[in-house]
Amino acid sequence: MNFPEDLRYAANHEWVKTDGSNVTMGISDYAQDALGDIVFVELPEVGRQVTVGEAFAEVESTKSVSDVYAPVSGRVTSANAALENTPELVNTDPYGDGWFVVIEATDLSELDSLMDVAAYRETAN
Partner 1 sequence: MPVQYQSVLEEHAAVRSDVGMFDVSHLGRFEVVGAGSTDLLVRQLCNDIRKIDPGRAQYTMALNASGGVEDDIIVWRIDDERYWVMPNGTNFDEIASRFVAFAPDTVSITDLRVRSVLLAIQGPRAADVLESVLGMVPGRFRVRSGSFMGHDITAAGTGYTGEKGAEVYIDIAGAEALWEAFTTAGAKPAALGARDTLRLEMGYPLWGHDLDDETTPLEANLAWVVSWDHDFIGRDALEAQRGHLTKKLVSFTTEGRAIPREGYAVTTDTGHGTVTSGNFSPTLQHGIGMAFVSPPPGQGESLSIEIRGRQVAGAITSVPFLDR
Binding test (CB under 8 A) with partner 1, winner from 11, 51, 63, 108: 63
Q: Phi first, then psi: what are they for 124, rounded to 5°?
A: -80, -15
Cβ count near 67 (within 10 Å):
11
Task: Pick between residue 62 and residue 123 the one whose CB is nearest to partner 1.
Answer: 62
Do 104 and 50 touch, CB atoms closer than 8 A? no
The answer to whether 36 contacts partner 1 (rule: CB under 8 A) is yes
Do 57 and 42 touch, CB atoms closer than 8 A? yes
The answer to whether 58 contacts partner 1 (rule: CB under 8 A) is yes
The answer to whether 87 contacts partner 1 (rule: CB under 8 A) is yes
Task: Pick between residue 60 and residue 93 the one whose CB is nearest to partner 1.
Answer: 60
